[in-house]
Each structure stands twice: as structure tokens, then as C-alpha cells.
Structure 1
Amino acid sequence: MSLYIYIHTHTHNHTFLFFFLSVSIYLHLFLYIIQNHFTYVRTEHMVHSEEDGEEVVVIRSYDHCTDRARVERLERSCEIGHNDRIFLFTDTLGDPICRIRNSLLHNMLVAEVGNELVGSVQGTIKLVTVHDNLVKAGYVLGLRVAPPHRRRGIGLVLVRKLEEWFAAHGVDYAYMATQKDNDASLRLFVGKLGYDSFLSPAILVNPVNRRLRLPSGIAIRKLKVEEAELRYRRHVAETAEFFPDDIDRILRNKLSLGTWVAYYNKRDDYNVGNWAMLSVWNSGEVFKLRIGKAPLGCLVLTKGSNLIGKYLSCVGLTALPDLFTPFGFYFVYGVHTEGQFPMCGRLVRALSEHVNNMAARDSECKVIVTEIGGKGGDDLRRYIPHWKLLSCDDDLWCIKPMKLDVELASSTRSRSLFVDPREV
């Protein structure tokens, strides 16, 4: 009996010790994740209002339970667009941080005046290639300020607090994307925050067409994730700005529909060494877009082309889909070619038509979006189907060094641009 009690007690003590150590380890791990990924921020700032004089603005971390509905209302009140005629509204499908959730390290800050949520900004941190160097880059996106509270310095305070979060995580560069004609954004980021223009890519938008017949002399093959990662690291990493070091995480994400390579079936002296590749991201699973304001001609063209859509398809034309109701889209990323134009350009066109056929089977997908810039961008855009009415060629990326010992990355066209689909 005494031996049984000893053994039982001894085993019980070891079980308790194992349980205690396990809880301790998980607690420390939980605290580490909270500290590094969900750092809570709360500060108060004074901003100037012409109507009310000075007012207190509270900047704090986003709380999904209390802020979700209010951030969605803020998003609906703010328009985004690439010119002064067409405005887009976003539907985050009940998840305001959907655009940054797939990034490993992300943060969202909100601004409050009294009990009213009046602004928000989002940011991500990742390792990327800038001028042949692997650096930590912080991306600023989704800056929103409610229209009645603009021109009071709220946007400035939000971005500065986000930059403090960048600095706390050792970020080398901060960057953002806007439009060349967005004077308010340029006054804030370039005029007040010290950002400099870096690259000017083009956003190419094409309505989803009926299923297209692919050229018979071109083969298209879907790559395994491991093969796609190897090709990107071998052929793109050393030539593209902002190439993400965690490309494997992107390719394995459930939103990444795959990577395809195209080449000529017949190899001869004329086309040997020519191939092209691209990847596709289903952005429509994350959020939807809707045109909120557009020229009368665009509205008439949309309604008219839908009425005669069947007849347009018979003569090889594309009907403009209804973009005034929420729609999803595919984002094409990692477009890369090897060889000479126009041979490799034709391969890109074949791949684009293949993506169109994929999208044609998805009832939620209405357009295909591709963003290209830097070296080879002008050559590529000629072979990527797009509508000029919907596309944008005045996108502007701006960058800012966050450390004194980091040189400013000047504007360059000698390298291509890799656009991370997680941050579209």
C-alpha cells in the first residue's frame, strides 16, 4: 500500500509539474505574440478645428468588437479613385482589416473625437528587396478621415503614430501608394512627412470576357508551389523592387489560385529561351468593390452593353459588366518574362487570356487587375488586355527612410516592380 501511494504521488507531482511548465510556455508565447503583432496603442493629441477651436483626438489600436461597424461606416463615407470622375467604394465583407490580415505583421489604428470614430490607418511590415538589399519595409495603406473632420491634422497624427510602430519594429523604409493628382495625399506624405516619389506603376483593368480560344502554338502549365517559388527567387528576386522574402507564404496562401508558365510548343532558333509566368490572387474573397460615381457616359455604356451583351460576344467584343453593384476581381501578380519581345509578349497575352477563362467560370469575378511598373513595364502593358476607361496610369509609390544610416532609395526604372497581392 505504501509503495502504491508513493508511486501514485510521485507520478501526480510529475504530471502537475509538466502541466505547470506547459501553461508557462504557452503564456510566454501568447504574450510574445501580443507584444509583437497586436501592440495596443492609445495616445491623445490636440488638433485644430476652425469651428470648435482645439479638440482632443484619441489615437488607439483597432478593437474588432467595438470598432467593426463604425469603421465600416467610415469606409462607406470615404471615396477612393484614380481621377476626379470615377470613385470606388469598398465592401470589406465585415472584416475591416481584410487587406492586411494575410500579412504576418500588421496593425490598424483608429482616431476618435469624443465618441465618434473619425479616422483610421493600416500598416504592414515585411522583409523585401530594395536596391539589391534585403530590408524591413513598412507599408502605409487605408488612410481614411471622415469628410467633416478633414484638414484638421488627424491624418498626419495617424500616420505618425503608425510610423512609431514601424520604428519600434526596426523598419528601414516606410512606403505608400497614391495617385499623381491626389494633391491632399501628396501634401501630407511628401510635404509634411518627408516621403519621396519612387516608382510610377500602371494599374491595368480588364472586364472578364467570355471564354477565349487560346493560341495553339503555346503551351501553358500550372507550376507546383515549390517550382514557382524557385523560379521567382532565381529570376525575379534579384531584378525586382519590393520582392517579398516570404514569397513562399504568398504562393501557399488559400487566396493564391496558382502560378502558370507559358512557352512555345515548337522550339526553334526564333523562340528558344522565351517563356513567361504569372500568378493569380482572388481578391474578391477578401473584399468587394463598387463604382459609386462615374461619368454619365460610363453608366450609359454599362447599361447599354449589358442589354446587347449577347450580340457583342458574337462579334468578338466584350460587354462592360455592371460595376455599380459590388463585384469581385482577380489580381495578377509576379508577371515575369525571359527572352525577347515580341515573342515573350505574346506568351504574356496567352497567359492573360488563360486567366480570363478562369475568371469566366467565377460568377463573382467581374474584372482582372494587373499592376506593372519599372523596367519592362511599358513593353508588358501592350500585351496585357485592358480597358483604358477603367485603367490607371498615374499611380505613384512614395518612400521614406526610417533610419539615419539608411540611404534614400531614389526613383528608378532600371528594375521591375513586384506588387504584393496581400496589400492590394
Structure 2
Amino acid sequence: MSTVVPVPATVEDGWPAVAVREFDAAADLAAVERLERACEVGPSSGKLCLFTDLLGDPLCRVRHSPAYLMLVAEAPAGGDIVGVVRGCVKTVACGRFCSSSKVAYLLGLRVAPAHRRRGVGRGLVARMEDWFRQAGAHYAYVATDRDNEPCVRLFTARCGYAKFRAPSVLVHPVFRHDLANHPPHPAIAVLRVPPRDAERLYRARFSGVEFFPTDIDAVLANPLSLGTFLAVPAAAAAAEWRGADAFLAAPPASWAVASVWNCKDAFRLEVRGAPRLWRALARATRAADRALSRLRILRVPSVPNLFEPFGMHFLYGLGGDGPAAPAMARALCRHAHDLARRAGARVVATELAESDPIISGVPHWPRLGAQDLWCIKRLADGYGDGALGDWTKAPPGDSIFVDPREF
């Protein structure tokens, strides 16, 4: 059960004269929506970015976590909401550093344009970190676009965070036609895995991967999780599925696994700042696709309409083993594309570590993706430090787990 911990409405010494308090949905929803619309979110030059409309639920990106909180900054004159931030706390794996640690994720920091450079953002972050410590978190991290210099500067130069990991966001548009069998790949089969077997596979495959959530069972059981899929050689798929333990005891030479998360019912995305030529070319591809598909001549890789709010599916837990694992991952991505097409989503996205060997098999359009930057801060000493000391100084591994609840 998610928990919301109240925070006293006091002002820290040294911070500007704004009251930082817990978000009240009944009183603050309209004001927060206005603030979100007033803020530029993400890059504005033809890249994928968060749309300000969170479908009426400002907590949608944290409410599925074990513990979460949303804070607002209220100006004393008139009581206007001038800032907002969200946070959640969970227990995750720390890779080769140690077995696990309680960490906090900070996201959705927004400050009204007229109140920027006045310390409002730092005040919200500091108050959220107070709650993180109360909730027992020992590290806090935040993800931002690597090119978002003001945000990177705020966290690294003013809030004490250190640059930590730089995973890649890979995005593929959803075409008007299926991809799984075009061209066909008779050597690979994709199986749907029951949730309990999916949990067993993930714990076996990812238990030592950084940021793997210990409550993966709750993630897989969430209604937004649309299923887990396993790519194996077609010959192995012909045998009867005997469960995850039997599979892990004698796995095929190569395989891959991934799950699909439905983001389209939580928030909308859009591509902003695209030149008119791009829009015209995208319309032309869709027209050609419609015409040629009716004639059964050719399936054109048409560009969906990304220049107005649209929905997305997120592929999480993508990983595998063996020399053909990238090819298996490609089969899973094509399968996820077809699921998204039938559900009405216009893109499929995933996020992987730069050095993950499976990344070579993930189809994506570089112009739609982004290079994330994860920054981390140590909040408490003496817990989860293992033999290596401070996790913030641990070298990166080949893989990273991106929790779909916070994407």
C-alpha cells in the first residue's frame, strides 16, 4: 500500500519566502496544472518530451511506488503555486557495489518562470530530501536530459548531486502495419510468460543489476504492466513450457526477456519544435502508407502524428543471455510494437545502459530519443555501503534497470 507522509508547512532559514507543503489534490490540482502548462518540459527542438497534461493525475508517475510524496511551493502573496516536486522511496539493487539499498527518486521539479533563480527549486529539493531521510532513504537520485544544462547545474552545482549514470532512451515510432513477421524470422519465437514465472526470471537475471527494485512482483502485478514476453529459438519454443525454474536450469544458448508498461493512460507526450518540413514529410509517409497498403504493394515505414499529444508504451526489464541475445531483443521490440499498434500508442520506448550489449538489437530512431543523465547524492552514512564504501563512487556496470513506474 502506498504511503503519503505529511510534511509541516514551514520555511527553511535561508530559503525564499515561500511555504513548502504537501500537495492537496482538492485545493491544488487546477493551480498545479496551470504551472505545468507554463513550464517548458524537456528539449524543444524536435525531440520527445513530456507533455504537461498528466491526464488529471499529477501523482501518476509516483503513486505506484511503495512510498511517495508531492510537494508544492506557495507564494505568500496571493497563495499562488510557484513550484512543485515529486518523490518516491524504494529498495533497489546496487549492482556490484552491495546487495541492496533504500533509495529515493526525485522527479517532476517545476518552478514558475517568474520565480526562477530565487531558490525555489533548491528549497523544494531540500524539503523533499528531508522527507527522504525520514523515510529511511540512504541515497537520492534524479534523471534529466543530458542537454538540459540549467537542471544539471541546479543539481550538481547547488544541491550536491554527482553525475552518476548516462543511460540511453531509445524510441521507435509505431507504424500502421505489424512488424513481427515483416520480414519473418522463423528461427525465433516469442512466448508470453505468466507473472510468477516473470518474477522468477527477473530475480535470476537482474538481481545484481543497479536499480533493480526488490518489489518487482508489485511492478509485474500492476494493471499498467501489460505482460512479460520471452524470445527463444523456435525449436525451444516447440517444447512445453515447464516454468521459470525449469527454463533457468537448462536455458537455450540465447534468449531475451522484456515486459510492456502502458504509459498512454498516465500521461501524454509530444514532439515540439519540429520544422514544417518534418511535419510535411511525416504526413507524406502516412499518405503513401495508406495508399500502398490498400494496393498490397509495399509497407511504408510511416511516421505517426507525433506533433500533438499521444500515448506511449514502455519496454522495461529488457535483457537476456547468449550471442544471439540482441537478435532476440529485436524480436521482442517488434512484438511490443505490434501490441502498441493495436492499443493505439504511437511510440514504443525503452532505456538501457550505454554499454549494454543488447542495445545493438533495439530498433530505434535516434532523433526521437535522448541521452539521460542520472545524478545521485548520498543522504545517510553506514547503510548499504558494503566493502566498497560510497555507492556514488562505484563504477558503472553493463546494465541498469529502469523502473517503469518512474519513467
Name the TM tier (shorter chain): 0.7 to 0.9
CA shift for structure 1 position 317: 3.0
CA change 1:298–1:150 in 2 (3 A) is farther
Contact 2:326/2:359 (8 A) holds in 1: no
Q: Residues 181-220 of structure 1: matches in 2 within 5 Å?
A: 181-209=147-175, 210-212=177-179, 213=181, 214-220=184-190
Contact 1:205/1:370 (8 A) holds in 2: yes
Deviation string 1:87-140 (CA, Å, 9 cap, x unpaired) is 542321111111111112000000111221111000000000112321110000
Unaligned runs of 5+ in 2: 237-250
- Equivalence for 1:330: 313
Structure 1 counterpart of 2:368, one-letter code: L
Deviation string 1:11-35 (CA, Å, 9 cap, x unpaired) is xxxxxxxxxxxxxxxxxxxxxx99x
- Equivalence for 2:362: 384
Equivalent of 2:276 in 280, 289, 296: 296
Please state whether the residue corresponding to 1:395 is helix, strand or coil. Answer: strand
Equivalent of 1:110 in 72, 79, 83: 72
CA change 1:309–1:278 in 2 (3 A) is same
CA shift for structure 1 position 272: 4.3
Equivalent of 1:348 in 329, 334, 341: 329
RMSD: 2.1
- Equivalence for 2:107: 141
CA change 1:158–1:220 in 2 (3 A) is same
Please state whether the residue corresponding to 1:80 is helix, strand or coil. Answer: coil
Deviation string 1:304-338 (CA, Å, 9 cap, x unpaired) is 32333324765343211111222111000000111
Structure 2 counterpart of 1:44, one-letter code: V
- Equivalence for 1:60: 21
Q: Percent identity?
A: 39
Deviation string 1:197-226 (CA, Å, 9 cap, x unpaired) is 111111011111211214222111111111
- Equivalence for 1:129: 93
Equivalent of 2:395 in 394, 408, 412: 412
Structure 1 counterpart of 2:189, one-letter code: A
Matched, 1:229 2:191: no
- Equivalence for 2:341: 360
Contact 2:289/2:302 (8 A) holds in 1: yes
Structure 2 counterpart of 1:65, one-letter code: A
Equivalent of 2:54 in 92, 96, 103: 92
TM-score if structure 2 supplies the norm length? 0.87
Contact 2:44/2:272 (8 A) holds in 1: no
Q: Residues 66-81 of structure 1: matches in 2 within 5 Å?
A: 66-81=27-42
Q: Which has the higher contact order (CA 8 A, sep 6+)?
A: 2
Equivalent of 1:305 in 285, 305, 318: 285
- Equivalence for 2:8: 41
Equivalent residue pairs, number: 375
Please state whether the residue corresponding to 1:108 is helix, strand or coil. Answer: strand
Bigger share in strand: 1
Larger radius of gyration: 1
